[in-house]
Structures are given as C-alpha cells and as structure tokens.
Chain A
Amino acid sequence: MNRFPLLLTAIFLALPLQAQEDEFQTVITPSFSPVTWERLVNAEDEPENWMMYSGTLDSQRYSRLDQINTGNVTELEMKWSYQIPVIDRAETVPTVVDGIMFITEAPSNLTAVDARTGRVYWRYDHELPEDLRICCGRNNRGVAILGETLFMSTLDAHLVAIDARTGNVLWDVEVADYEAGYSKTAAPLIVKDKVVTGIAGGEFGIRGFIDAYDPVTGELEWRTYAIPGPGEPGNDSWSGDSWKTGGAATWITGSYDPDLNLIYWGTGNPGPDWNGDVRLGDNLYSDSALALNGDTGEIAWHFQFTPHDVHDYDSIQVPILADIEYQGSTRKVMMWANRNAFFYTIDRETGEFLEGEAYASQTWAQGLDPNGRPIRVPGMAPTYEGILVSPPYRRRN
C-alpha cells in the first residue's frame, strides 16, 4: 500500500495545528474520502481518525496520537461542546473521519458535526414507535462506516444506512420485530464487504443472534443464532423449550481478525435473568465468546465464561485481540475483562483457555478450573430472601 499520500496529509494537518493559538484559523475540512475496507484494516495508521466503535478491528483502543501526553494532560482546556438534544444516556463512541465527527444520540438519532468546532452539518432523527420495550436506557452506541455510508442500529430493531455527506436515508431494514422485545443499540462492525450487527432484548425473551447485511442493498446475508436450535449441538443445554426465549443478546460491537478471518463477538445473559429454574443446563451460548467465520458466519468455536448464569453476567465486553508472548512463543490471543470479575486470556485461533484470574473482588466462584470453567461457591444463587453477591449489579463491567 502506498503510504506516501498519508504521510503528506499528516504533515499538512500538523503544521496549522502548531501555528494555532487561541483562535481557529480558517477551518477547511479536508476532503472526505470514502472509507475503504483497506482503510479500516489499517485504521491504526490514521490515528487522527476513529473509524469504528473500538478504533481498530482488534479493539485495542490504543491511539497513536501523541500531542496530548502525560506531561501536558493537566493543561487540557475545553475547545467546544455539543449538547445532545435529548437528555438520556449517552453511551456513544463518536466516529471521526477526515474532520467530520459522527455522533449517535438517544434515542436513535445521528448527527454529523465539524470535528474542529462541534457545529452541526446535518442530523438524522429516526422515527420510533411509542411502545418500545427497552430495559436499560434509550441509547445508541455508535455507527459503522464503509465507503460514504454510515450504518446505525435503532431501538425499534432496524438497521439504517445513512449517506455520510447529507444524512439522507439510503435504506432502512427491519432486523427483528420490536414488538417481540427485540431492540438494537450497538454500533455495527464492517467485516470486509458486510455490515455485521448484533441484537438486544435479552430481558424480553428474545433469541439472540448476529447478522451480516449487504451494505448496498440492506439484504440479510447470514444470521447466526447465539442459541442453538433443535438438533444443533448445545441445544440440549436448555431444559424444555427455554431455548426459544433464552436471551443471549449480542449488544456490544465485537472484533475481527483479517488474517484468521474470524469475527469475535460476546453474548449476553440467559433469560429469565437471575432465576435459572426454568432453563436448567449450561445455557449455550449465553455469556460466551463466539468466533464466527468471516464469510459465512458459522460458529468456528465458542468459549462460555459463565455456564447457567444467574447473576446477569453478560459477556458482551469488547474482545481485545493481541499477539503476545506466552510461555516462550508468540500466541494469537483474545483478552476479555468479563463482568463475572475474571480476566481471561484465550487462544483466538482455537478458543483454548490459556489463563484466567479475578481482577476484581468476587464471591460467587472459587476460581476457574484448567478449562476455564468457573468453580462455583455453593449457595450464591439468588434467593427469595435475598443474598449479597460480588461483583454487584452496580459498578460493574
């Protein structure tokens, strides 16, 4: 890949920044170039941009910018602020591409602002029905961008494609029926030429899944359920028909390894939450990491963090991909700071459990066995009278 034009751009941008005092110079937004798959794969080479939910496909969220460092961070001053019109949770990660910042807002709105001044170019307000089923805040976590198109989830379980230059709606497809409890909050993830996106609603008896859509037409390319159907391996980990409404929502954006061609995504708690009496068994693949084939979506391997969860330990954390030295050799791993208070290191090629240790105080497990399965402390399941368990509902991952 020719890196010279990128270098030129970087230098051009750096000079005005250094010459800047308190006043803005004539602000000229650099030409917005379409975001190709190559740019996304090499996103770390454009540290001035943030082109996906976790910055890069390996979700390491490490910025290579160095203008702000430990030496000068105490001198930070506010440059501008943008007031989100609807006062609700703000769980978005803004996307920045070539001087334009795309901010998603509660409940399912999107605005494009000039990244230097916070002034609005355009906004898109998604129409929502009055009778949504939302458990935990009417929020939106961000967009994905490919080419000149933004992709956003909406609370009524739609996926919309928005033109990045004007805010026009290119297509709007129903992913699932919101009246059945389905919703969408997570930023989608671009994988090669597909828009990969999860689903929410684990508290309303959904059957979780991960979808891939054609970015041009909005057609569904594949759907992989997070709960196996009848006859599929793992379906018998649900007693009776509890698999049909078992939850395992996929409500945080995952990661992707282009070399292994694997998509990594976390799944949420099994339902009903807190009470596992009607869903005896391990409840696969709730509270798990799923590795999906990047072309077909088929499950290559899975690792379940919390079998038969009764503490709402959603495993929807961002999978951190890294190549590390492990026991003398370089290993492709996935690191996971789970809500169950354990930090896992897992081989991301095979799903083999390498290491796991509690990183926060917890009282529900004695530890993990050699396969990474938790050794439960007896008597920590919720009771009618109530019981204290750590990690608690508040202040958790």
Chain B
Amino acid sequence: MGNLTTRLGRLANVALSGLFLATSGSLAEDAGNLYNTNFDINAGLRYFERQCSRCHGIDAKGNDETGAPDLTGRLTRASSEVGIFNIIRTGISGTAMLPVASDLPDAQVWQLVAYIGSLSTDPANIDLSGSVTNGANLFTNKGDCSSCHMIDGHGGRQGPDLSRVGERRSPEELLSDMLNPHADVAPRWWTIRVTDKNGLVREGLRMNEDSFSVRIIDDDANLWSYPKNQIASLERVEASTMPSYTQTLSDSEVDDLVAYLFSLRKEN
C-alpha cells in the first residue's frame, strides 16, 4: 500500500529533473530563452499572478468559462519557447487572449515564458518505474477503469476522456487522482441532483451550469436540460464519483497505471 507522501516524493525525485525547460539548443535563429534562472521564473510567476491569472487561473490550469486554456500541460498553440513568447507578445487574434502591453520589455516576456515552461513536465525527462503494457491491461481488466473512462473511443462516459491525459496531468497528479480522487474535482464532474416541480428527482454529472439553467448527463448517458426557475430544488455534490484505489490495487499496479496514463498523448 504505501504512504502517499513517500510515493510522491519518490516520483518527484525522478520528475524534478524535467521540471525546468532547459534552454533548447534548437534553431539557428532561436537562441532559446536566456532568462531561465529561478529568479526569472519567480519574476514570471509574479507577473502571471497579476495579469494572467484572471483568465488562466491562479494555478494556470485554465478556465472553461473564460475559455483560457490550461497552461500546465501540453500547449496546443505553441511548440517552442519562441512560440510562447510570440503569443504573449502578439496575442491570439479572434480570441480573448490579448497581447501584453507593447512597452513591456522583452526580458519580462521571457521571464513569463520561463515561468510557463516551469509548469509543465517534459515527458522526455521522465523515467517512470511502472510498465505501460501492464497498465494498459489493468485499465481494461482488473482496474475496470474503462467502465467509466474512454480512451480512443472505447470505454464509458461517466468520467473524463483519458485519450490524451498524459498531456495535462503529471505523474504525481495521476497518482493522486487514483488514490485520492476527491482531492481535486473539476466542476464538470460534480453530481447535480434536480427535483422538479412534480417531485421527480433526477441525478447526473454536471455538464454545464449557469445562473439560469443546468444540464446534466445521467447514468444512462441521457442528456437533460433544466431552467432553474422551473425546478423545485437543486443539490450540488462537489465530490468525485470515482472510487479510490488504495485498497484494490497494489503499489506496483498503481505505478503501472500511472506509467500507462502518462504515456497517453498525441503522437507528434
């Protein structure tokens, strides 16, 4: 079984080496980010909290309401530090992503790049102890994960699609998700219990909600839509419906699953 903190510590040791985006000696015209010290990352963090967190979240995990993406995983619009720099500098037209002030010095933008780079884990630098093949087997068999989760179109609809989960969850986060699923539940996976004016109760996962309406998906994957002024009561359960696997899977089996899930990302 094992204590959560020591296991995290073990993983963290391995992962630490990959936490900072090293200056990539890549293109001839791109010298990489020269502002890559801890001081620069902290400066980037302070600017991020002041200016970027209002849309991207204080943890940079993104926000469905504002449409600001999660910056801690694989970035979809930039594949290099220069790409990130350019987005911060020029914004993304047609979206709410505005450029930073034009008189903001380049150095400060590079510090932001360094901070954002520090948020994600470069998979090439991670060496996990688990077996990906065993993990794949556990996912569909002993772990029965596919009863709720889809991967590449196979599996259930009662949990997040995991086809590319390795792009947005670090190994530490995957471990925590499995052993302590209630620790960090996104609103999309809360349960909503609706009692309509006839007393009929319907329960499902919270697909979407606003001040005036709510939409849920029930156990049979039926979609239901309610205007809030037409229902008697609404109960919001902000917990996960996912069980914890501390009792059902051994340490090595969990490591295998972590290795498997972390390997799930878009091939490039």
Contacts and interface: CB of A to CB of B under 8 A. Distances in A.
A168 B157 CA distance: 9
Contacts of A122: 207-208
B196 interface: yes
Interface in A51-102: 85-88, 100
Interface in B161-177: 161, 163
B161 A168 contact: yes
Contacts of B161: 166, 168-169
Which residue among A87, A120, A130, A168 has the maximum number of chain B CB atoms within 10 Å of its CB? A168
Interface residues of B, number: 31
Interface in B46-105: 67, 76-77, 94-95
A120 B208 contact: yes
B163 A26 contact: no
Interface stretch (B21-29, B110-118, B125-133, B218-226): B218-226
Interface in B203-236: 207-208, 210, 213, 215, 217, 221-227, 229-231
A26 B194 CA distance: 11
A165 B210 contact: no
B227 A165 contact: no
Nearest to B150: A168
Interface string A21-32: 001111111011
B94 A88 contact: yes
Contacts of B223: 29, 32, 100, 112, 114, 121, 165
A27 B227 contact: yes
Contact of A166 (B76, B77, B157, B197): B157
Contact of A32 (B163, B208, B215, B222): B222
A274 interface: no
A170 interface: yes
A395 B48 CA distance: 49
B124 to A, nearest CB: 21
Contacts of B226: 26-27
A28 B153 contact: no
Contact of B215 (A26, A114, A161, A163): A114
Interface string A159-186: 0010101101111000000000000000
Contacts of B207: 121-122
A98 B105 CA distance: 55
Contacts of A221: none
A171 B153 contact: yes
B224 A28 contact: yes
A117 B153 contact: no
A117 B225 contact: yes
A161 B207 CA distance: 20
Contacts of A28: 224-225
Contact of A117 (B77, B213, B217, B266): B213
Contacts of B76: 127
Interface string B134-162: 00000000000000001011000100010
A396 interface: no
Which residue among A23, A28, A87, A100 has the maximum number of chain B CB atoms within 10 Å of its CB? A28
Contacts, number: 84
Contacts of A130: 77
Contact of B217 (A87, A161, A166): A166
Interface in A214-243: none
Nearest to A138: B94
Contacts of B94: 86-88
A230 to B, nearest CB: 35
Interface string A114-155: 101101111000010010000000000000000000000000
Contact of B153 (A29, A100, A161, A165): A161
B230 A170 contact: no
Contacts of B215: 114, 119-121
A121 B208 contact: yes
B150 A117 contact: no
B208 A117 contact: no
Contacts of B198: 26
Nearest to A119: B213
Nearest to B221: A165
Contacts of A166: 150, 157, 161, 217, 221
Interface string B174-210: 0000000000000000000000111000000001101
A168 B153 contact: yes
Contacts of B222: 29, 31-32
Contacts of A24: 227, 230
Nearest to B208: A120
Contacts of A163: 150, 153, 157
B25 to A, nearest CB: 23
Interface in A1-49: 23-29, 31-32
A122 B225 CA distance: 12
Contacts of B230: 23-27
A-B pairs, 5 with minimum CB distance: A170-B153, A114-B225, A168-B161, A26-B230, A165-B221
25 contacts: A24-B227, A26-B196, A26-B226, A27-B227, A27-B230, A29-B222, A29-B224, A31-B222, A87-B94, A88-B94, A114-B215, A119-B208, A119-B210, A119-B213, A121-B223, A121-B225, A127-B266, A130-B77, A163-B150, A163-B153, A168-B163, A169-B161, A170-B152, A171-B152, A171-B153
Given A26-B196, A171-B153, 20 more contacts: A23-B230, A26-B197, A27-B230, A32-B222, A32-B223, A112-B223, A114-B223, A119-B210, A121-B215, A122-B208, A130-B77, A165-B157, A165-B217, A166-B150, A166-B157, A166-B217, A166-B221, A168-B150, A169-B153, A169-B161
